[in-house]
Each structure stands twice: as C-alpha cells, then as structure tokens.
C-alpha cells in the first residue's frame, strides 16, 4: 500500500499498514514566509537538512505553522522524501490526495512498460494541503484503508466500498486500475 501526496507524512500515523509515502513533483515544496515564496528542495535533501535549514531561516515561524514538527516526525520515519516516479516497487493500492497528483501517478504508471500485469488500484481523495484538512483527510483515508484491509477480496468489493465512502464523506473519489 502506498500513499502519494505532498511531503506531509501525516498519513503515516496509521499503524498496522504497510505504507510508503511519496511526492510526485519534481521538487519538494514546503510553505515559506508567503504563499508565493515556498521553500524548495530537491529529492536528495534529507529531512534533517530541511529541518536545519528552516530553523536557521525562521525558527519561530516554522515552529508556529507546524512544519518543523512535521519534519521532525518525518525524519524519524525515513531519512529523505521519495519520488513516486523513481520507485520501482510494486504496490496494491495507491492513494493520492489531489487530482493533479492522481494524474501524475496515472501518467507515470501508464508510461511504464507492462510486465507482470499485476494490477495496482489508484484512488484519489481530494484533500486541501493544510494541517486541518490533512488531519481530517488522514482519518478518512485511514478508515478507508482499514475497510479495504478487512475486505476478503479487495478488487471485488472496492467499487461498492468507494461508493459508500463517497456518500459518507461527500467527496468525489477518483478510482482506476493500472498494471505493472
């Protein structure tokens, strides 16, 4: 199972899932002092480095908006962010939190040469990239994953499950299947 979203690894909070998080952009973007001045790093930068960089730039601001806290947690999970397109492992399920990201994932998966024909389901749940929405969304996705986990036959029950969630959460879900 894999979650593709921004660097926010808040979805990591769910235990008991075999989860990996990825970014899909060309860079890692973190909020900056203004909306048009994000902090941009490449995927080689470690969380540790980002953390130190931000502490140096404006410790108070980044403590207040929670970015430092997030990076601190992330660095304990893994050393640096990963880019989905660069990951060659196979997953059963990819969840994205933004339609743009969903499109990128689909494009990437479809551009790969098919080999094993192992299916991978891709689901998009639109979540605004802010702390509150991310937390709400995290619960929603966590619940979704738990439900999927409990299905006897994920592929067969997925459609119905998503319809249910859609109705419950009042958000439209995008869902498709790709093949490795």
Partner 1 sequence: MTAFLHQVVELLNQAALISTEEKLIVLKQVQELIINKDPSLLDNFLDEIIAFQTDKSIEVRKFVIGFIEEACKRDNELLLRLIANLNMLMRDESVNVVKKAILTLTQLYKVALQWLVRIKSVSDMQEACWDMMTQIKEDVLALLDSDNDGVRTHAIKFTESLIITLSPRTPDSDTPKKQEGDISLDKIPKDHTYIRYDTLCEEGKSALEQLLKFMVHPAISSINLTTALGSLATLARQRPMFMSEVVQAYETLHANLPPTLAKSQVSSVRKNLKLHLVSVLKHPSSVDFQGQISTLLLDLGMSQSEISRCTPATVQPRKRLHHEPYVEGKRIKMDAPLAEDDEDKEEPAPVVTPKPSSSVGTQSAIDLTAEFLLPLLTPDNVANLVLISMVYLPEVMPASFQATYTPVESAGTDAQIKHLARLMATQMTGAGLGPGESSSKDPLIIRKLSAVSLGQAISVVGAPAAYKSPITEEAPQIKKLPEPILPTSQAPGASGRKKVFKLADVVQPFSEAQIEKLSNMAIKRILLSEKVIAQSGMSHVRVKLLARLVTQFEGGKKNDLLQFILEDMRGRSELAFSLLYHEYNEYLSQQPSGSLDSYEHCLYTLLSGLQEKPEQRDGLFTKLVLEAPVITDSALEVIQRYCEDESRVYLGMSTLKELILKRPSRQYQYLNVLLNLSSHEKEKVRSTALSFIKRMYEKEHLKDCIEKFALTYMQFLVHPNPPSLLFGAGEDTGSETLDLSQFSIQLIRFMVASPWTEETAIADIKRSVLRVIEQPIRGMGMSSPDLLLLVENCPKGAETLVTRCLHILTDKVPPSPELVERVRDLYHKRVPDVRFLIPVINGLEKNEVIQALPKLIKLNPIVVKEVFNRLLGTQHSEGSSSMSPLTPGELLIALHNIDSSKCDMKSIIKATNLCFGEKNVYTSEVLAVVMQQLMEQTPLPILLMRTVIQSLTMYPRLAGFVMNILARLILKQVWKYPKVWEGFVKCCQRTKPQSYNVLLQLPPPQLASVFERCPEMREPLLQHVHSFTPHQQAHIPASIMAVLEANSRKPEPEPQPELHHPEIIEEREVF
Least separation in angstroms between residue 22's CB and partner 1 is 20
Is the Cβ of residue 28 or residue 148 nearer to partner 1 in the bound state? 148
> Per-residue string for binding with partner 1, 92-111, x by CB under 8 A?
-----------x--xx--x-
Q: How many residues bind partner 1 (CB under 8 A)?
A: 29
18-26, 52-60, 128-136, 149-157 -> range binding partner 1 (CB under 8 A): 149-157
Alpha helices in the chain (DSSP H): 47-64, 67-77, 99-111, 131-150, 154-169
Site for partner 1 in 150-169 (CB under 8 A): 153-156, 158-159, 162-163, 166
- Measured from the CB atom, the residue of 46 and 176 that comes closer to partner 1 is 176
Considering only CA atoms, which of 20, 170, 175, 179 is closest in space to residue 87? 20
E strand or H helix at 124: strand 119-125
d(CA 75, CA 169): 31
Burial of 19: CB neighbours in 10 Å, binned 0-12, 13-18, 19+? buried
**Closest by Cα among 122, 166, 158, 159 to 140:** 166
Please report whether residue 115 would count as binding partner 1 according to CB under 8 A. Answer: yes
- Output 10 or 85, the one with its CB closest to partner 1: 85
170 part of the interface to partner 1, by CB under 8 A = no
CB closer to partner 1 out of 64 and 118: 118
Q: Is residue 18 within the footprint of partner 1 (CB under 8 A)?
A: no
Residue carrying structure tokens 């075999």: 18
Classify 4 as helix, strand or coil: strand
The site for partner 1 (CB under 8 A) is made up of: 103, 106-107, 110, 113-119, 121, 153-156, 158-159, 162-163, 166, 172-179
């Amino acid at each position: 199972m894999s979650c593709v979203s921004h660097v926010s690894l808040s979805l990591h909070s769910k235990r008991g899932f075999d989860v990996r998080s990825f970014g899909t952009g060309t860079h890692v973007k973190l909020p900056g002092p203004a909306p048009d001045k994000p902090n941009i790093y490449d995927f080689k930068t470690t969380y540790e480095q980002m953390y130190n960089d931000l502490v140096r730039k404006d410790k108070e601001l980044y403590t207040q908006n929670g970015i430092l806290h997030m990076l601190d947690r992330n660095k304990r999970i893994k050393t640096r962010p990963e880019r989905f397109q660069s990951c060659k492992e196979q997953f059963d399920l990819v969840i994205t939190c933004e339609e743009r990201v969903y499109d990128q994932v689909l494009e990437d998966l479809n551009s790969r040469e098919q080999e094993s024909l192992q299916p991978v389901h891709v689901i998009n749940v639109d979540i605004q990239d802010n702390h509150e929405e991310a937390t709400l969304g995290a619960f929603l996705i966590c619940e979704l994953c738990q439900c999927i986990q409990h299905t006897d036959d994920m592929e067969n029950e997925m459609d119905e499950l998503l319809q249910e969630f859609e109705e419950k959460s009042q958000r439209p879900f995008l869902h498709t299947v790709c093949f490795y």
